[in-house]
């Protein structure tokens, strides 16, 4: 058997126990375990249990504060900054989420810059609760330089994911969440672990030659999706999650990082908007639903997020199959 069957609760408690065993307090361990379990439940294995090794390495090396006590600062009526106290991002996000929602509901728009955090997660886990509270929301974060700017030759950008969520009343929100690279680095790590090759055009080896070998691409660099267009999105993420909020660019984060395999220290940017306060309180929802209906009416087209929601329904009934190699690594930890 190359797979192990686990329930979402089992995944969460394995992750929580492991993190507590390596120095996280209950609040930090619980926040990280929750997003790991969410990722596994939604079929996003590259951001699930596979990441525990990196989280643990960052605790062991002392880079990340497992006892972090994030705190908020109101910088302006609609700008709430969270300082993550050098902990993992999930607890900082929990701390800032309700103040962001409240400020956006009141002001129409509000921003949540997060600084002094270590980010290793899938962004949809973070914006879904905000969209479910009735807000449009977007988020982005940088990493360490692994993506070459279009036309260039050296990694400069992180894989810099950008996510957008749209509220749909009592239905799950529409969410897309994508790296600015052709694929997320987690997918390359997963391919390396499971022995698959990559599609052509994903990355290059350490000498800059195109490669489909995930181990070689991990030593080399990834390419931005859509050439110069994805490259500009990656640049925007560096500006929003770095320059705008007083946090590091990916190149700066790399200089400070101890390369223990865990996430570097950096920032995240989140923006929320209240559709009730943008001039069409009666019509915004119907117009958006019309768009969604027209998308799914086309053969072969679907809404982003629908694959995850389908996985979630299946996982809540049948649990999740985890690769044996990932499971064995967790047991070692
Ligand atoms: P994918 O390319 O797998 O998917 C990107 C988005 O496109 C998803 O929202 C997906 O929805 C949607 N999608 C995929 N296929 C279709 C389709 N045929 N029609 C409509 N929508 C579609 O994701 P990436 O590899 O780019 O990123 C994976 C994850 O990695 C993200 O969650 C990201 O946040 C995370 N990441 C985190 C980083 C960090 O530093 N913390 C760095 C980089 C990435 P669905 O999920 O439903 O398939």
- The CATH number given to whatever domain includes residue 42 is 3.30.1370.60
Please identify which of the residues 40, 126, 128, 187 carries the catalytic annotation.
Answer: 187
Please identify which of the residues 40, 46, 238, 268 carries the catalytic annotation.
Answer: 46
How far apart CA 222 and CA 203 sit, in angstroms, is 4
Of residues 325 and 288, which shows the higher confidence score?
A: 288
* 247 catalytically annotated: no
How far apart CA 152 and CA 210 sit, in angstroms, is 14
Q: Note whether residue 124 is domain-resident.
A: yes
Percent of the chain residues past pLDDT 70, beyond the cut: 100
Closest CA to 231 of 283, 168, 159: 159
Closest CA to 121 of 268, 325, 329, 256: 268
List, in sequence order, every residue forming a beta bridge with 82; answer none if it has no partner. Answer: 72, 114
Which tens digit of pLDDT belongs to each residue from 120-172? 999 999 999 999 999 999 999 999 999 999 989 899 999 999 999 999 999 99
What does the mean pLDDT of the chain come to? 96
Q: Note whether residue 84 is domain-resident.
A: yes
Q: Please say whether the beta carbons of 319 and 5 come within 8 A.
A: yes
Q: Cβ-count burial of 331 within 10 angstroms (0-12 exposed, 13-18 middle, 19+ buried)?
A: exposed
Pairing of strands 210-211, 203-204: antiparallel
Q: Which two tokens stand for residue 332?
A: 């070692």
Which tens digit of pLDDT belongs to each residue from 1-44? 689 999 999 999 999 999 999 999 999 999 999 999 999 999 99
CA of 294 to the centre of ligand 1 (A): 22
Tell me, using a 6 A CB cutoff, whether residue 305 lines ligand 1. yes
| The model's pTM | 0.95
Tell me, using a 6 A CB cutoff, whether residue 186 lines ligand 1. yes
In the chain the beta strands, taken as DSSP E runs, fall at: 3-6, 71-76, 79-88, 109-118, 136-141, 147-148, 162-168, 171-178, 203-204, 210-211, 221-223, 265-273, 320-323
pLDDT bucket at 185, cuts 50 / 70 / 90 = confident
How far apart CA 213 and CA 196 sit, in angstroms, is 8
Which tens digit of pLDDT belongs to each residue from 255-285? 999 999 999 999 999 999 999 999 999 999 9
Q: Determine which residue's CA is closest to atom 10 belonging to ligand 1.
A: 304
Strand, coil or helix: what is 319? coil
Strand order in the sheet with 71-76: 71-76, 79-88, 109-118, 265-273, 136-141, 162-168, 171-178
Q: Cβ-count burial of 171 within 10 angstroms (0-12 exposed, 13-18 middle, 19+ buried)?
A: exposed
CA of 141 to the centre of ligand 1 (A): 14
Tell me, using a 6 A CB cutoff, whether residue 302 lines ligand 1. yes
What pLDDT shows up at residue 326?
A: 86
Q: Which domain holds residue 70?
A: 3-181+224-277+305-332
Q: Note whether residue 149 is domain-resident.
A: yes
How far apart CA 92 and CA 32 sit, in angstroms, is 11
Residue 184: is its pLDDT beyond 90?
no
Q: Note whether residue 200 is domain-resident.
A: no
Q: Determine which residue's CA is closest to atom 29 belonging to ligand 1.
A: 122
Q: Please say whether the beta carbons of 72 and 82 come within 8 A.
A: yes
Q: Which two tokens stand for residue 219?
A: 């030593």
* 187 catalytically annotated: yes
Q: How many domains does the chain have?
A: 1
Max Cα distance, the chain (Å): 57
Give me the residue label for tokens 């995944």.
11
Closest atom, ligand 1, to C-alpha of 176:
9
Other CB atoms within 10 Å distance of the CB of residue 157: 29
* 46 catalytically annotated: yes
Q: Please say whether the beta carbons of 279 and 108 come within 8 A.
A: no
Q: Note whether residue 58 is domain-resident.
A: yes
Closest atom, ligand 1, to C-alpha of 125:
32
Q: Note whether residue 193 is domain-resident.
A: no
Q: Note whether residue 77 is domain-resident.
A: yes
Residue 190: is its pLDDT beyond 90?
no
Q: Which two tokens stand for residue 18?
A: 């492991």
Q: Determine which residue's CA is closest to atom 47 belonging to ligand 1.
A: 305
Tell me, using a 6 A CB cutoff, whether residue 119 lines ligand 1. yes
Tell me, using a 6 A CB cutoff, whether residue 172 lines ligand 1. no
Q: Note whether residue 188 is domain-resident.
A: no
Tell me, using a 6 A CB cutoff, whether residue 250 lines ligand 1. no
Which tens digit of pLDDT belongs to each residue from 37-73? 999 999 999 899 999 999 999 999 999 999 999 999 9
Closest atom, ligand 1, to C-alpha of 309:
47
Tell me, using a 6 A CB cutoff, whether residue 123 lines ligand 1. yes
| 120 backbone dihedrals φ, ψ, rounded to 5° | -145, 15
Which range, of 27-36, 130-139, 235-244, 316-325, averages the lowest pLDDT? 316-325
CA angle 127, 128, 130 (to 5 degrees): 65
């Amino acid at each position: 058997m190359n797979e192990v069957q686990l329930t979402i609760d089992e995944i969460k408690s394995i992750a929580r126990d492991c993190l507590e065993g390596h120095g996280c307090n209950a609040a930090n361990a619980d926040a990280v375990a929750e997003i790991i379990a969410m990722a596994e439940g939604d079929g996003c294995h590259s951001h699930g249990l596979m990441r525990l090794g990196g989280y643990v390495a960052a605790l062991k090396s002392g880079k990340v504060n497992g006892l972090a006590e994030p705190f908020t600062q109101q910088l302006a009526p609609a700008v709430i900054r969270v300082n993550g106290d050098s902990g993992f991002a999930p607890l900082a996000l929990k701390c800032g989420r309700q103040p962001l929602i409240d400020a956006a509901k009141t002001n129409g728009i509000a921003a949540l810059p997060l600084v002094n955090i270590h980010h290793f997660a899938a962004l949809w886990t973070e914006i879904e609760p905000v969209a479910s509270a009735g807000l449009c929301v977007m988020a982005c974060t940088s990493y360490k330089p692994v993506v070459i700017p279009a036309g260039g030759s050296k990694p400069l950008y992180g894989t810099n994911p950008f996510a957008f969520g749209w509220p749909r009343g009592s239905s799950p929100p529409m969410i897309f969440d994508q790296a600015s690279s052709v694929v997320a680095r987690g997918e390359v790590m997963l391919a390396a672990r499971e022995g698959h090759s990559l599609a052509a055009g994903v990355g290059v080896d350490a000498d800059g030659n195109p490669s489909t070998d995930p181990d070689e691409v991990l030593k080399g660099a990834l390419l931005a999706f859509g050439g110069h267009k994805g490259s500009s999105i990656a640049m925007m993420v560096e500006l929003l999650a770095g320059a705008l909020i007083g946090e590091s660019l990916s190149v700066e984060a790399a200089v400070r990082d101890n390369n223990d395999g865990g996430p570097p220290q950096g920032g995240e940017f989140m923006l929320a908007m209240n559709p009730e306060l943008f001039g069409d309180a009666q019509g915004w929802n119907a117009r958006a639903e019309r768009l969604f209906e027209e998308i799914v009416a086309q053969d072969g087209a679907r809404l982003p997020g629908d694959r995850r929601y389908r996985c979630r329904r299946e996982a809540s009934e049948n649990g999740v199959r985890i690769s044996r190699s990932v499971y064995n690594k967790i047991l070692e930890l």
